[in-house]
Structure 1
Amino acid sequence: MSQSTRMRLGVALPTFGPDANPDGIIRAGRTAEDMGYDSLWTGDRLLAPAVPSAPYPGRGGVMPRTYENHLDPLVALTFAAAHTSRVRLGTSTLNGLWQPPIMLARSLTTLDLVSRGRLDVGLGLGWMPEEYEAVDVPWKGRGARLDETLDVLEGYWAGGSFAHDGRLFTVPETEVRLGPHQRPGPPVLLAAFTPRGFARIGRRLDGWLPGAMPLTHLMDMWGAIVREAEKAERDPATLRIALRVNLELTDTEAEPEQVPQRGTLQQYVDYARAAAEDGVHELFVDFGQTPVTLDERIDLAGRFLTGVRAG
């Protein structure tokens, strides 16, 4: 199955739920690397209210209760970097608007350096207004805040003499002598599902972070991003899809229209192989929303990888 072997495969670290601890990260990270996975991923959660004001984007609008136990994504990836050597390290997604962009630039630069250039920066805008309230960041105007954050990241990673004077942020002139390992900076991908988001990806970013959906719909949306890149006179071949799949495993086969929202492990394997055939560049799975032990999670990861790579 030559096409599938060209699609990179990743797995989420246990940074949510009962196994969100040092031993869980070490064991899951090292085992995934030894199995042959290409990447490890973390998510970002700040609050877990009993009843969020906005419905969760998936799973019938109900937020997984595993989010009540959450680790800092960048600290977790830094810890994983120290216990692995090859796999790439990604955020899906990092809510990058919860801190000043100059501090975000410093943190991402540090992680890219200590991992020796293995970082993929996946950014998102979040879905829960309460989290923005907790960090005193306005919910309104998130798109403009993201654009200015990207401006600061790009300027900081360029190195040398850097200053920024924007509508939201001011950075006095400073010398930046320590840059990221990857040049011009670690790849930045965005979770986006609107025309403005697609334009932002096509115009200035390195890729797209969608959630699992029917592949026809997925590739139609990817086509919109490709067209935006062409309008910006960028080569679409330089962009990539990194597709997140949150598994909700069933004991018996789900109806075809329910996949990939739920299904058996084999149905998810088939979905991943079809995604590879359609041209998805990378797919990563998260077993954390299925009630399994760490041993079961590792077993499932091995069976999924074998299934997708087989044939």
Structure 2
Amino acid sequence: MKLGLALPTFGPDACPEGIVRVCRTAEDMGYDSLWTGDRVLAPHVPGAPYPSADGEMPRAYENHMDPLVALTFAASHTTRVHLGTSTLNGLWLPPVMLARSLTTLDLLSRGRLIVGLGLGWMPDEYTAVSVPWKGRGARLDETLDVLREYWANDVFSHQGPLFTIPETVVGLKPRQKPAPPVLLAAFTPGGLRRIGRRLDGWLPVAMPLPHLMGMWEVIQKAAAEADRDPSALRMALRVNPRLTDSRTGPERMPAAGTLAQYVDYARAAAEAGVHELFVDFGQTPASLAERVDLAGRFIEGVRRG
């Protein structure tokens, strides 16, 4: 199983020095990937509860960087690690502009981009970018259509219910062939089936492993029904540790526990068949130096097992 680390693109450590330090940490320690997320608003009272046990949005989101710009900066300070979005809200940009940005980043990183898309959870952000909250699934499907057409053709045009793109020559092509992998964060039955039918993989968040693998089976079945190879799909599991000083009961993991418990969870995930797991220590009240230390202890513990 591959291991990844979240970049400090939220909170007080969201700065050039913080990103460079985590980039060097990741490559020196043997991490396989770096990840960043997407926010445009951080209201005191969001229009919808944050999707967590307590419903509280992390206040670190009040200081947020542009994810693709941050990954481009990270690409210039790394040579090996892959660079992923978990997640990029793919509906906030016109799809042809999204295609151009993703292609540029894949080229500049020499083929290390992992495109992780999501639909977000906060209607306020859709209002801010003048995109309707209603009809997100249909907008995502057409966005995926445009991305695939842009990457597959030297000349293309698009006429759909939401977007019209006049015929154009597309000289800019991604380094990865035929395209960078596109993963989706989804948890509803319809979203899981969409992954199986047309995406390259899934971006879940940490949950009890039997539940996780049950949802993965839904994706695999949908892929087989669509005459796609289920074994070609990949899963990249996000873990947001809430670290405690003493061990928690099994009913609280992976929502909260000690670092050792999260190491055990990662080992069990590898045995269950998870392809990649990345950890975001920015969800903890830790300094950058403490995050670096935690990253070292975590990968050492998992690899040792």
Taking structure 1 as the reference length, the TM-score comes to: 0.97
CA distance in 2, matches of 1:114, 1:53: 37
The corresponding residue for 1:240 is 234
Question: Offset at 1:183?
Answer: 1.0
1:31 to 5, 22, 25: 25
The 2-side partners of 1:211 and 1:183 are apart by 28
CA contact (8 A) 1:242 1:280 kept: yes
Structure 1 residue aligned with 2:72: 78
The corresponding residue for 1:129 is 123
Provide Cα deviations, 1:19-60, integer angstroms capped at 9, x if missing partner: 000000001011111100000000101100001110000141
Q: Secondary structure at the match of 1:183?
A: coil
Confirm or deny that 1:66 pairs with 2:60: yes
Q: Distance in 1 between matches of 2:47 and 2:113?
A: 33
The residue that corresponds to 1:51 in the other structure is 45
Aligned to 1:40: 34
Q: For residues 189-227 of structure 1, what are the alpha-carbon distances to aligned partners after superposition, in whole Å with 9 as ceiling and x for unaligned?
A: 000011111111111110000000000000000000000
For residues 159 and 298 of structure 1, what CA distance do their matches in structure 2 show?
43
User: Partners of 1:49 and 1:177 in 2: how far apart?
Assistant: 41
Q: How many angstroms does 1:254 deviate by?
A: 1.1
Partner of 1:224: 218
SS of residue matched to 1:193: coil
Corresponding residue of 1:157? 151
What is the CA RMSD across the aligned residues, in angstroms?
A: 0.6
Q: What amino acid is the match of 1:115?
A: S
**Aligned residue among 272, 288, 296 for 2:290:** 296
Code of the residue aligned with 1:260 in structure 2: it is P
Give the aligned partner of residue 266 of structure 1: 260
- For these two proteins, the number of residue pairs brought into alignment is 305
In structure 2, the residue matched to 1:281 is: 275
More divergent stretch after superposition (192-201 vs 297-306): 192-201
- The answer to whether the aligner puts 1:251 opposite 2:282 as a matched pair is no
Structure 2 spans left out of the alignment, 5+ residues:
none
SS in 2 for 1:45: coil
Q: Once superposed, which parts of structure 1, at least 4 consecutive aligned residues long, lie more than 4 Å away?
A: none
SS, match of residue 237 in structure 2: strand
Secondary structure at the residue paired with 2:54?
A: helix
- Aligned-residue sequence identity (percent) comes to 75
Compare 196-205 and 214-223 and name the one that shifted more: 196-205
Offset of 1:159 from its aligned partner?
A: 2.9
CA-to-aligned-CA distance 1:135-174 (integer Å, 9 cap, x gap)? 0000000000000000000000113111000000000000
